[in-house]
Amino acid sequence: MTSHDPPPLEEPRQEDSLAPEQHSLDDTSPSVPPITRWYYRHLLPVRLGHWINVLCLPILIMSGFQIFNAHSALYWGDRSDRDRPILAMTSVRTESGERKGITMVAGHTFDTTGVLGLSGERARGFPSWATLPSAQWLAMGRRWHLFFAWIFVINGLLFGLYALLRGHFWRDLFPHWRDLQNIGKTILDHLLFRHPSGEEAKHYNVLQKIAYTGVIFGLGPLIVLTGLSMSPMIDAAFPWLLTVFGGRQSARTIHFLACFAFIGFVVIHLFQVIVTGLWNNLRSMVTGWYTIPESEEVHEKTNAD
């Protein structure tokens, strides 16, 4: 097997001798003899941190919706003046006696019956299938949220320290200038569903780097700090948090927006995981081992053999 690999391209981290010998799962081309080049892509701390987040995020998002439902409106500033929300999910009764779910965003109202404002015959912000627990139960939602917030924060801190101290951040995650120069080509590749092969597939592309760096070192700290800004005790200890986020209700609004940014990230991330080879990606995040799609050059070489 290893004889098919072009020798000068090997990285020190690649340990082909340890790789299980098998056929590539994704090779559908019948004319090319199936060749698998294994690459140890994700180190243990990355995999561990990743799967802890997979556990935490759905729980935090759904218990967060539960907490939001206790007062399903958002405001800007320090106060929540009931007549001045920037977002509100309510249920109203129409003249014909029918109940409707209404969502108001910045002055515009939308009929969201069945999903937001009114669902399952109940007046509630988010529907029961999106909240944890499913029934209206603020105390339990807080328990889930605050417990898994600790795990999320500890995991994030440990991973962030690991990434910074062991070079993972600078080597694999940080979008360097030479990455950014190719951003146009990378965006085009994404739009055309052209996926990197060969040596290129061993590294995150520039859009991945921007997304991962942004989430780990931007969005993550933002959602934790806005969450902490809602704590009256933390506000007493660190009053600048209120200044930075523009007040406690603003912090709550930003926390909510950051939550949807996380949801957006997860949706795009899962889409990319599926279209770039679900099993290969999943295996590499579970075991570390990733198979490298062959580049044109390698194909030719293989055919010549």
Partner 1 sequence: MKKRTPIDRRRFLIGAAQAAGLLLLTGCDSLSRSDWFPRLLGKAEGLTRRAQRLVTTRRAMAKEYTEADLSPVFPSNGTSDPNDSDYQALAQRHFADWRLKIGGLVKNPARFSLSELRQFPSRTQITRHDCVEGWSAIGKWKGVPLGELLTRVQPLPSARYAVFHCADPDDEDQYYYESIDLEDVYHPQTILAYELNDQPLPIANGAPLRLRVERQLGYKMAKYVMRIELVDSFDSIAGGRGGYWEDQGYEWYAGI
265 vs 289, which CB is nearer to partner 1?
A: 289
Among 44, 191, 233, 304, binds partner 1 (CB under 8 A): 233
Task: Report in angstroms how near the CB of residue 239 gets to partner 1 at its nearest.
Answer: 6
Query: How far apart are the two ends of the chain, measured CA to CA in Å?
Result: 12
Q: Provide the token pair at 85.
A: 């929300």
Please say whether the dihedral angle defined by the alpha carbons of residues 183, 188, 190 and 191, taken in this order, is positive or negative. Answer: positive
Per the CB < 8 A criterion, the answer to whether 6 and 301 are in contact is: yes
Q: Tell me the site size for partner 1, rule CB under 8 A.
A: 52
User: Which amino acid, 228?
Assistant: L
Q: Which residues pair with 35 in a beta bridge?
A: none
Q: Which of 104, 99, 96 is nearest to 114 (CA)?
A: 99
Q: Map the footprint of partner 1 across residues 107-146, applying CB under 8 A.
A: 132-135, 137-140, 142-144, 146
User: Among residues 106 and 139, whose Cβ is nearest to partner 1?
Assistant: 139
Burial class (CB in 10 A: 0-12, 13-18, 19+), 66: buried
Q: Does 302 bind partner 1 (CB under 8 A)?
A: no
Please identify which residue in 2, 122, 150, 182 interacts with partner 1, judged by CB under 8 A. 150
Window 35 to 54, contacts with partner 1 (CB under 8 A) = 54
Please, what is the minimum distance in Å from the beta carbon of residue 149 to partner 1?
Answer: 8
* Strand spans (E) along 63-217: 73-74, 87-93, 99-105, 108-111, 117-119, 122-124
Interface pattern 253-292 for partner 1 (x via CB under 8 A): --------------------------x--xx--x------
Which stretches of the chain bind partner 1, using CB under 8 A?
20-22, 25, 54, 58-59, 62, 67-68, 70-71, 73, 78-82, 132-135, 137-140, 142-144, 146-147, 149-150, 228, 230-239, 242, 248-249, 252, 279, 282-283, 286
